[in-house]
Structure 1
Amino acid sequence: MRRVVCLVACLSLFAGPSLFAEPPSVPTKSKPASVTDSKQTPKKAKKKPAPFAWVNPIPNKRLHPSLQHGTFQSPSLKQDVGYAILLPPGYSEGESSKRYPVVYYLHGSRPGSEAKSLALVPLLHSAMESKQVPGMIYVFVNGGPVSHYNIPGEPTKQGADVFIDELIPHIDSTYQTIADREHRGIEGFSQGGRGTMRLSLRYPDLFCSAAAGGGGYETERKISESGGRESEKLVFAEGDNTWDLARAFSKTKTPQVDWMIYVGTKGFNYQNNLAYMKFLTSLGIPFERIVVPEVPHSGLKIYEQRCVEIMRFHAANFR
């Protein structure tokens, strides 16, 4: 049953924290503690991430008149799953004569939520409202406990399947979408960039357009080379990674997906994005690229410079 709550306007931008902190520096020689040193305030402990939840209402600072929060009853989880949806300017609920293509946006972090990437909303809406790009629906996905992955043998940790098998049909049956692959795109940043590339390679019959931002392809390579093992406690299905899936896709190259990879030169995944681009080229898999100088690992900061270009990439791919 559809339960959608329309939300009130409030624009705000946010740049999420880096996923990796630099190691503390080690002094070359010790010095006696001064009176000032001895009274220094201890550093605050890092804030722990919020516990994972399948439903996460939109924070007040992210409210926008065209942004809604919705839920659907997941058949596999037997509970509600949340999503956020940005409707284009001029969207009129119930006006079935006008339909729109859809871009599914996969959040970063692990775990994340459907509220994680909503700082992009004002930029997306502004580009459509100013008619720099045509109207599109953007759906912000909840990627599950292990963002956008399935964990073998753990029924409550099937984030990829909940998205592919349940959320997409719900969106197509609830909103005025053009419900075919020629009008369906996927995008994400960081963990969402990994998920975008992996899921578009696995399901090329579902997506015609895929823009993967700042993905951790070195980690994906490690998973490939270790039979699915990312760490001692985290093991994925063998072959469920961007390297093995690209090799498998290169044997047929159909149906063709239009891919883009984007990354900032100051991001900690910059070099491994370059390595993955070289790998795709070696397989004969074409893609577009955007490399943004002097930008760190931040989807928002990349969007502040290249939002319209990325949106136009999807728009051009919708047939």
Structure 2
Amino acid sequence: MLSIKTNGAAIGALDILRATIDGRGETQSRVTTGYRVAQASDDAAYWSIATTMRSDNKALSAVEDALGMAGAIVDTAYNGVDSAVDVMQEIKTRMVLAREPGVDRDKINTEIVELKEQLKTITHASSFSGQNWLWRTDVADDAPKQLVGSFRRDADGGVTVTNVDYDVAGVAGTSEVNFLIDDVSGDSGILTGSGFAAELGTAKSWVMFNGESGPTYDEMVLNDSVTDTEIEEMISVIDAMAERATDVGTTLGALVTRVELQSGFVMDLQDSIHYGVGKMVDADMDLESTRLKALETKEQLGIQALAIANASTEPLISLLR
């Protein structure tokens, strides 16, 4: 049937051409953006998941930065303790030398004074970004140190930031202390606390030196009036201090390793999330490029088909002339 009102063939060809143009536009968008799911209208479920995971990946990136900061803080404290142990061993060596008959104890004490100053320098300098885990200057320093460890999203959608904890205070007045110097009360510092002498049962409350505040204990000083027994007590106390500092260094070293491992894990986790999101929303560029070429060809054929369909009325027009 030939009609001058309705050209069914042209309408059909036009519908096909419109669908082809729409498909070419969608494919062109995927090729341009690189995304198969670029917005919620493309696939609401995948878009929602991908958006949430991208947000989590940004949070993990912040965690990675925080772990870098944490690693620097812990490493600074570890290096400080490690250096302090070496100096304490030097002091102990000179104390042993002072035990020998006929030595000039005043000259040895001059060396010890300088080594003590070095211990103070090490402790005060073991600071990173305002964090010093070896020097107690305020009661607020006793708070456990919390380092950002990871970011976690629960099954119900809740988010949690997990921490790596370190008990910096220890037990004041005992040998279980972690600060090197306590300038508040003295007894929370390895070098300033009397807990070592008390546990060893020495006649005097020997300390390497006194803190700026708190009680005054018996500082380790060599002179001609110091007895051999007192020197032996000093040596035993210094040895106990060095052992405790070594234990603290071991704990800090293990913490450094844990932070490094956690940092590596966070980086791997970021890569996994990035890859997983890509599998959901990224376009297959080989497939989309091939599809785009095919649709462009189909569009040209559709234009020709529409032209042919529109030309079907020309015989009628020639009869009406």
**TM bin (shorter chain):** under 0.3
Q: Flag the structure with higher strand content.
A: 1
The TM-score, its normalising length taken from structure 1, stands at 0.22
Bigger relative CO (Cα 8 Å, ≥ 6 apart): 2
The TM-score, its normalising length taken from structure 2, stands at 0.22
Larger Rg: 2
Q: Flag the structure with higher helix content.
A: 2
